[in-house]
Amino acid sequence: MTDKDKHTEFDYDVIVIGAGMSGLYQLCRLRQRNLRVRVFEAGTGVGGTWYWNRYPGARFDSESYSYGYSFSQELLDEWDWTEHFAPQPETERYLNYVADKFDLRRDIQFSARVTSAIFDEDRNCWDIGLEDGSHHRTRFLITAVGPLSAPTMPKFEGIKDFQGESYHTGLWPKTPVDYAGKRVAVIGTGATGVQTIQEVAKTVGHLTVFQRRPNWCKPLRNKPISKAEMAEIRKDYPNIFKRCQESLSCFMHSPDPRKAMDVSEAEREAFWEQQYAEPGFSMWIGNFSDILMDREANRLVSDFVARKIRERVDDPETAELLIPTDHGFGTRRVPQETFYYEAYNQPNVDLVSILKTPIERITPTGIQTSDRHCEFDIIIYATGFDAITGSFDRIDLRGVGGESLKEKWRRALETYLGVQVAGFPNMFMLMGPHTALGNIPRSIEYNVDWVTDLIDHMRENGLTRSEPPQASVDAWTDYVIETSEGLLTNEIDSWMTGINWNVEGKQKRIVARFAGSAPYYRSRCDEVAAAGYTELMLS
Ligand code: NA7
């Protein structure tokens, strides 16, 4: 008899995979109901993204007070943010504070990596398998696995032969890494690489950055928050959350309604100067309304940022290497930096373009490119994630008839409201593909509330199965694809368009995110709930 056969009834009403921001809030909401809930978390602590990504310099790129949970007035009253863009240790402390305050740990099993989730048609339940070989049955499965949580390594030969220390930023160790005075390599210049590089450069012996394609970066302009300022922010919370609620992507910034060509060249320049000097994402999200749609508008803003890079980097050749030529400003996520470009003015920092001189292999002592060998004590891989669907792919997830989610989504990425998938009854996704991502915690709170209301509705009406019909899936998927049309972002290879050259089968662009407005997304989901979820097959 296997473990599985021993169970005669479900172990839980709900199993949640992941104790990051979405899993924690989901657990809070389910706590208020008389349900048996278990959260399985692969890490040894809470926090998800903010647990794993403890690399040097990791911090928010949205304003701290717009990122924290909004659901508890007490929590808002009690927690003080100390910086406008909080560093990772502060956010991890915050999420631990939340877990303690709401006594969440007693329902979380740590060091519990979910390896399989198989729908059992006869019993109308999910069988969840863990890495330790145990199995757990549940009526509902909620995936809180995060859109950026499956780290990917490059496929260079010899990675395992390196005799120094090597780390992926997304799997950074808890024990301190001492890079002061050492010879360090960073591979990758996305948002993570940029934060790592500018931090490591402060104390490193020698830093070599291996860049494939550069990104358009913009100054973060972080500042500490004094007690007095925090008191003002606290008073302003209702307004801050209202702004997030009303904005297209849940950030505090909204696009300027004007188009770039509506104003004179002098006005445009002045506007961009002001935005470049402002903290946060205003230049990306609060820019003229057409910079991500109109090629000429996008070219002009890109030219502006290119001039800034040239002004800030002393060596003209290095400056040119740091200016993207294959995509315009904002069409990939904009890394926010603090003296990132100035790091390249240090005599102990080198930039290697691996488009010009590719990495041939990692050797026991360093990195061999097509034109030289460099020796290192530490190699840091800031090479990103198998985004959005990657964390699902790493679980053997099977729905009705044993259909694999990974294979289904390889054929076509289809969802209903980004929450459910046809053939995967009672599986609800938090921050799954085709949802509004943006300033993620704002979207998480909505997503969790919607899923919780649906579970309430089912229980109140004696329903035990929720599945979207193909027609509902088609309608939502078509809408997601339609709203992505015309966006320059969707013409560019990035994690946002599902491209990852390190992962087999992820070389074709897909529409993985809902690029429409978050207010529309919420109104659409509200409408479905108000109509009694008739677009779902509930039985
Ligand atoms: P990103 O933005 O996907 O960046 C990964 C970086 O690593 C990027 O510069 C890649 O170059 C580079 N990369 C990936 N694979 C390789 C190989 N094989 N060789 C060389 N360079 C490589 O991930 P991040 O972690 O920085 O940020 C992800 C999100 O987290 C970010 O947008 C924020 O939302 C938070 P490429 O550009 O593909 O040429």
Atom of ligand 1 nearest to the CA of 194: 26
What tens digit of pLDDT does each residue of 100-119 get? 999 999 999 999 999 999 99
Is 145 within the bounds of a domain? Answer: yes
**How high does pLDDT run on average in the chain?**
96
Distance (Å, whole) CA 536 – CA 539: 9
- Going from the C-alpha of 135 to that of each of 79, 209, 464, 465, the distances in angstroms are 38, 45, 21, 21
- CA 383 to centroid of ligand 1, rounded, Å: 5
What tens digit of pLDDT does each residue of 424-446 get? 999 999 999 999 889 999 999 99
- CA 413 to centroid of ligand 1, rounded, Å: 22
Beta bridge pairs of residue 320: none
Is 15 within the bounds of a domain? Answer: yes
* Containing structural domain, residue 329: 183-227+252-381
Q: Write out the E strands in 18-134.
A: 37-40, 108-109, 114-120, 125-130
- 416 with 438, same domain: the answer is yes
What tens digit of pLDDT does each residue of 330-378 get? 999 999 999 999 999 999 999 999 999 999 999 999 999 999 999 999 9
pLDDT at 425: 98
- CA 497 to centroid of ligand 1, rounded, Å: 13
Supply the CATH number for residue 117's domain.
3.50.50.60
CA angle 233, 239, 245 (to 5 degrees): 125
- 291 with 404, same domain: the answer is no
- Going from the C-alpha of 406 to that of each of 311, 392, 471, 501, 539, the distances in angstroms are 46, 7, 21, 17, 26
pLDDT at 1: 31
Nearest CA to ligand 1 atom 31: 191
User: pLDDT-based confidence at 3, cuts 50/70/90?
Assistant: very low
Is 208 within the bounds of a domain? Answer: yes
Is 95 within the bounds of a domain? Answer: no
- CA 27 to centroid of ligand 1, rounded, Å: 32
User: pLDDT-based confidence at 34, cuts 50/70/90?
Assistant: confident
Q: What tokens appear for 64 in the block?
A: 């701290």
Nearest CA to ligand 1 atom 11: 212
What tens digit of pLDDT does each residue of 162-212 get? 999 999 999 999 999 999 999 999 999 999 999 999 999 999 999 999 999
What tens digit of pLDDT does each residue of 372-386 get? 999 999 999 999 999
Residues 6+ apart with CB under 8 A from 182: 204, 205, 206, 377, 378
Number of domains in the chain: 2
Angle of the 440-460 helix axis to the 21-31 helix axis, nearest 10: 30
What tens digit of pLDDT does each residue of 472-503 get? 999 999 999 999 999 999 999 999 999 999 99
- 373 with 423, same domain: the answer is no
Is 415 within the bounds of a domain? Answer: yes
Atom of ligand 1 nearest to the CA of 53: 25
Of 381, 414, 431, the one marking the end of a domain is 381
Contact (Cβ atoms closer than 8 angstroms) between residue 67 and residue 445 = no
Percent helix / strand / coil, the chain, rounded to 5 = 35, 20, 45
Atom of ligand 1 nearest to the CA of 154: 18
Beta bridge pairs of residue 256: 288
- CA 495 to centroid of ligand 1, rounded, Å: 8
Closest of 410, 405, 408 to residue 395, by C-alpha: 405
Atom of ligand 1 nearest to the CA of 493: 38
- 307 with 350, same domain: the answer is yes
- CA 188 to centroid of ligand 1, rounded, Å: 5
Is 412 within the bounds of a domain? Answer: yes
- 395 with 534, same domain: the answer is yes
pLDDT at 32: 86
Nearest CA to ligand 1 atom 23: 384
Contact (Cβ atoms closer than 8 angstroms) between residue 282 and residue 253 = yes
What amino acid is encoded at 391 in this protein? S
Q: Residues enclosing ligand 1, CB less than 6 A?
A: 148, 154, 187-193, 212-213, 333, 354, 382-385, 495, 502
- CA 262 to centroid of ligand 1, rounded, Å: 35
Q: What tokens appear for 320 in the block?
A: 């040119």
- 191 with 294, same domain: the answer is yes
Ligand 1 pocket test, pick from 91, 149, 167, 189 with the greatest ligand atom count within 8 Å of Cβ, gives: 189
Query: What is the percent of the chain with per-residue pLDDT over 90, rounded to a whole number?
Result: 97
Residues 6+ apart with CB under 8 A from 204: 179, 180, 181, 182, 183, 184, 348, 349
- 270 with 129, same domain: the answer is no
Nearest CA to ligand 1 atom 29: 191
Atom of ligand 1 nearest to the CA of 155: 18
Other C-beta atoms closer than 10 Å to the C-beta of 196 total 27
- CA 34 to centroid of ligand 1, rounded, Å: 43
Of 352, 381, 410, the one marking the end of a domain is 381
- 291 with 352, same domain: the answer is yes
What tens digit of pLDDT does each residue of 217-275 get? 999 999 999 999 999 999 999 999 999 999 999 999 999 999 999 999 999 999 999 99
pLDDT at 72: 98
Other C-beta atoms closer than 10 Å to the C-beta of 337 total 22
- 397 with 377, same domain: the answer is no
- Going from the C-alpha of 187 to that of each of 156, 214, 342, 383, 475, the distances in angstroms are 11, 12, 18, 7, 41
Mean pLDDT, residues 37-59: 98
